[in-house]
Amino acid sequence: MAIYRTDPDLFFLAQCHNDDLEFLVSLITHDPKDGSLRWSETLSGSEDYKRFYPNHQEYWQGIAAEVQTFGANSFVNILRRGKGVMYRELLCDACDKMKVNYSKKASTENIELNMLMKVLEKSLSDMSSEQLKEFATGMEIELSNPTPELILMAIQTAIRASGFAAYKMAVVVVSTVAKALLGRGLQFGTYVLLTRSISALAGPVGWALSSLWLATDLAGPAYRITIPACLLIAYMRQKALYLPV
């Protein structure tokens, strides 16, 4: 069984909504293609999972341990006697694989935001003019002729001015990723306007993920879990920061 390593970057999972944790649990325990249990997962066999599921908050450390272990698999392909790697190491490794531009001295939150921006950047580059306009409108970005570069600049400026902008970006990107990978999007009824952005981004995010998986498959299948896991955790961190329970 996976053994949790005390990790300050994952403490906040204890306060996350069960609905959001369900996405992470589904990702690490089941193959989205056919719904079967992943051969490498150990979470579903744990006593805490059997006792508390679907109240995921009650066994958040087991969830965190499983994420850490998948990170260890992607680096060295051994279980390390049930212990994985710290989340920040897992995150940086995933960012390196995605060719994300980030500083190793930056906070974990900022590295996650750079990862989200990378997915967004790739997705915007595949959008039509109409999709770009629809996305900009949904994100409340006022541009007469939106381009991928102008939209990214506007989002970066908004994030520097207000942390809530980071949450909005995380919702849009990760909801689309979750729908592409798990067949269902996030629940975020507090901001209905964002549905326009999610709708515009749906196709391009799917294309971006397809090209990303092709690039990472040679490095090992664990990246198919660790990369979306980092994206989901990034979203949950932003939600915890700006929409606390």
CA–CA separation, 112 vs 115, rounded Å? 5
Number of domains in the chain: 1
Per the prediction, the chain carries an average pLDDT of 84
pLDDT attached to residue 175: 85
Tell whether the model's pLDDT for residue 239 goes beyond 80.
yes
Confidence of residue 79 (pLDDT cuts 50, 70, 90): very low
Task: Confirm whether 209 is domain-assigned.
Answer: yes
79-88, 134-143, 147-156, 163-172: range with lowest mean pLDDT = 79-88
Residue type, 41: E
What is the model's pLDDT at position 75? 44
| Residue 5 covered by a domain | no
Q: Is residue 1 part of a domain?
A: no
Answer whether residue 133 is part of any domain: yes
Element holding 114 (H helix, E strand): helix 108-124
pLDDT of 116 higher than 80? yes
**Backbone Cα Rg of the chain:** 17
pLDDT tens string 11-37: 999 999 999 999 999 999 998 778 899
Whether residue 180 lies inside any domain: the answer is: yes
Q: Look at residue 3 and tell me if it is in a domain.
A: no
- Whether residue 169 lies inside any domain: the answer is yes
Q: How confident is the model over 81-96, as pLDDT tens digits?
A: 567 899 999 999 999 9
On the question of pLDDT at 56 being above 70, the answer is: yes
Domain coverage including residue 99: 11-242
Alpha carbons 109 and 98: distance in angstroms, whole number:
17
- Assigned token pair, 114: 């750079």
Give mean pLDDT, residues 44-54.
95
Section 74-82 average pLDDT: 48
Q: Could you tell me where the beta strands, DSSP code E, fall in the chain?
A: none
For the full predicted model, state whether its pTM sits above 0.85: yes
